[in-house]
Amino acid sequence: MKSHVILLCLGYVLLTSAHSIHNKEWTKLILTHHWPQTFCSMEHCTTNFTYWTLHGLWPNSGAECNASWHFNASLIEDLLPEMKIFWPNLLKPESTIFWKHEWTKHGTCAAKAEAMNTQHKYFSKALELYHKLDLDGILRKSNIVPSETYYKLTDLENSISSSYGVTPKIQCVSEQKQTDFQILGQIEICFDKQFQLVECEHSREELQSQSNSFHTGFTVCDISVPVYYPPLGSSL
């Protein structure tokens, strides 16, 4: 009798702790930009985008928080023209599957905040933050433009952190056969629940220990390796 109770309790503890891990409340939002030329060199697509496009707006904890909340493109019909320009599906430009994935995996978790508790609010908020950041403009202002010459990672970091006051997380692709440079791929900027800019991670060690990448191949850039910011049409 007693052991039954203990087993039941143990089962309950295991269940509730699994439940709370799954539902751990998020504290930050990660706005992820990707560089289309690099993405397409990895995924074998062709692109003509000459600016950083939006990859997603991701809570730092949780995924697929509500499986019954289905993506419905007709709820964001008015946003679609803008999304095709700034949040394009680089693989299948005419498909909505990329946004569906972003909603199901990340949006349903972001939706716990009132400011993003509908599909329209979630996608609008991501576009709003993307425009507010103007990553292309920020880099250009520091003369960091796609180029055949390499940059130092710290030049990129300094450009971004001096504009926003927070350190970004910058991810690169390293090709095994190439050790003399790494290719710039993704830039993450973080916000708190009030949509104020915050550090993505607290230390360089923390930054490097994380590789929360959707596409395999992106890792946090190595500070000691030159960074290639590939122009459109360059062969990688």
Ligand X SMILES: *[C@@H]1O[C@H](CO)[C@@H](O)[C@H](O)[C@H]1NC(C)=O
**What residues are annotated to the active site?**
55, 102, 106
Residue closer to ligand X, measured from CB, 65 or 190: 65
Question: Binding residue for ligand X (CB under 6 A) from 49, 150, 181, 195?
Answer: 49
Question: Binding residue for ligand X (CB under 6 A) from 2, 5, 44, 48?
Answer: 48
Distance CA 192, CA 216 (A): 26
Q: How far is the CB of 223 from ligand X (least distance, A)?
A: 32
Residue closer to ligand X, measured from CB, 68 or 224: 68
Separation of CA 194 from chain center:
18
Q: How far is the CB of 31 from ligand X (least distance, A)?
A: 21
Question: Binding residue for ligand X (CB under 6 A) from 16, 17, 23, 66?
Answer: 66
Q: Does 7 bind ligand X (CB under 6 A)?
A: no
Residue closer to ligand X, measured from CB, 3 or 74: 74
- Among 68-76, 96-104, 146-154, 191-199, which window interacts with ligand X (CB under 6 A)? 68-76
Q: Does 74 bind ligand X (CB under 6 A)?
A: yes
Residue closer to ligand X, measured from CB, 107 or 168: 107
**Residues contributing to the site for ligand X (CB under 6 A):** 48-49, 66, 68-69, 72, 74-75
